[in-house]
Structure 1
Amino acid sequence: MALTDQAIDKIKAMIVSGELPPGSRLPKEGELALQLGLSRSSLREAVRALTAMQILVTRQGDGTYVSDLEPQRLLENLSFVSDVSRGATALHLLQVRRLLEPQAAALAATRATEEDLAALRRILDEATAAGDVEEFIRCDIDFHRAIADLVANPVLSAILDMLSTQTQRVRILRGTEAAQAIDHAHREHEAILAALRDGDAQLAAAAAAVHVAALERWVRDAGGH
């Protein structure tokens, strides 16, 4: 194992053990290097890597701190995987989404209030009035995010956000007959909302599964691009 990897593992171990809790300031570089038995250069490389992962945050003139370690922060970098995914990788991400999103819709059906349903209705009305693909996709993201948020599980919301970014959705639509794909998406969104309005968890799950399966089919038909 490279020295930098060893340094990363040692700092992670301090965080996992609670020795460095979220929001805590790292000891001074010399002290921490001595404590961990590392050279300063290895420690610096480890800190840079952990900062890129958003496990650590550097405050100019104040030092380096453990981040809040919230799932949304830690999963943020993984959205890059979705942004660049093509071919089999894009399909794999959609398959994971198809496992998770129907369950989110099913739970949302048991929790949605009249206010929640009205907000979802407004999003779909905005999607219908969208003037271009990008605007439609912004509404699409808002719709699915709002449903996931009804589950009140920030980890689930963060994972679903990561699985399907705006960049990926734009690429999928532009790889298809966009007008036809958007028309299908409108109908599938309406079916999901109808199931949520009825409080029918099984129907909501089925409608969400059909919707994501259609996206998989478009990706396959477009050769994964």
Structure 2
Amino acid sequence: MPPAPLHPVRPSPLVEQVVDRLRAQITGGHWPVGTRLPGETTLARDLGVGRSTVREALRALTGAGLLRPRQGAGVFVIATEPAEDWPTRLRRAAVTDVYEVRTAVEVHAARLAARRRTPEDVAAITRALDGRRAAAAHDDRAFVDADIAFHAAVVAAAHNPVLADLFTEFVPVLRAGLVDLLALTGRRTEDPNTADAAHAALLRAVADGDAEAAAEIPAEELADPFPEPARESGDSAPD
């Protein structure tokens, strides 16, 4: 299919207009996967904009996963649909899948926390445990927020910014999933401060520098928390 003609765009916001115009060429199949785009000078002339505007638009489309520059060869189409970003992927994921990855993150973070914790980290985890216990008197949402804050303090004590960022990305989906889980299981009906002993044990293991014990506690606590009906339903976290 021959490419559709490119017409000059109206001024401002130029970059966004160029991005939209080029994306339409790609997603419409006028530039199939593997196609080398015209050079910046040609695109700038056809679109009636400066080369710097074209360059910014190409950079945006590269970031969206549609284009890839090749040194000395030009810019090529590598996909006709934008890549789904990480936060969007998490919102669409099943809570059970997110929880499994959360387990891997927290088990490793707990092990590292026991090896790397500082007195300030131990104090922060202690405060978070106290906050979790205080939240036991409140509703499920408040309790879940306090529980997540405790685990976030443990992850922070690992002193690995990538792990910390990954955990932060999980939080919105985790929060929704944990609130639903508590409502489904009624786990706090008889024990409003459910799993307090495990959380206290994790604090002790981190404070004592016992890496293996620290890793074992979340591994056991987080193992298969979802009853079979929740798994069979295929429920996903809300958007």
Q: TM-score, normalised by structure 1?
A: 0.61
1:159-174 matches, within 5 Å, as 159-165=166-172, 166-174=175-183
* Bigger-Rg structure (1/2): 2
Partner of 1:96, secondary structure, is: helix
**2:198 & 2:230 partners in 1: Cα distance?**
20
**1:186 & 1:95 partners in 2: Cα distance?**
21
Q: Post-superposition shift, 1:91? A: 1.8
1:1-150 matches, within 5 Å, as 3-4=25-26, 30-32=50-52, 43=57, 47=60, 78-85=86-93, 89-130=94-135, 131-150=138-157
* Structure number with higher helix proportion: 1
Q: Post-superposition shift, 1:83? A: 4.2
Q: Post-superposition shift, 1:33? A: 5.9
**Which runs of no fewer than 5 residues in structure 2 stay unpaired?**
1-22, 35-47, 65-84
| Compared CA separation, residues 110 and 34, structure 1 to 2 (3 A) | closer
**1:147 & 1:99 partners in 2: Cα distance?**
14
Q: How many residues are paired up?
A: 170
Of residues 200, 225, 236 in structure 2, which corresponds to 1:217?
Answer: 225
Relative contact order (alpha carbons < 8 A, sep ≥ 6): 1 or 2 greater?
1
1:175 aligns with 2:191: no
| Compared CA separation, residues 96 and 47, structure 1 to 2 (3 A) | same
> More deviation in 110-119 or 174-183?
174-183
| Compared CA separation, residues 176 and 164, structure 1 to 2 (3 A) | farther
Q: TM-score, normalised by structure 2?
A: 0.58
Q: Post-superposition shift, 1:171? A: 2.3
Partner of 1:218, secondary structure, is: coil
1:193 aligns with 2:203: yes
| Cα root mean square deviation, aligned | 3.6
* Aligned-partner residue type, residue 178 of structure 2: R
**Which runs of no fewer than 5 residues in structure 1 stay unpaired?**
10-27, 37-42, 52-76
| Equivalent residue, structure 2, for 1:153 | 160
Query: Between the two proteins, what is the percent identity of the paired residues?
Result: 30
Q: Post-superposition shift, 1:185? A: 2.9
**1:29 & 1:204 partners in 2: Cα distance?**
58
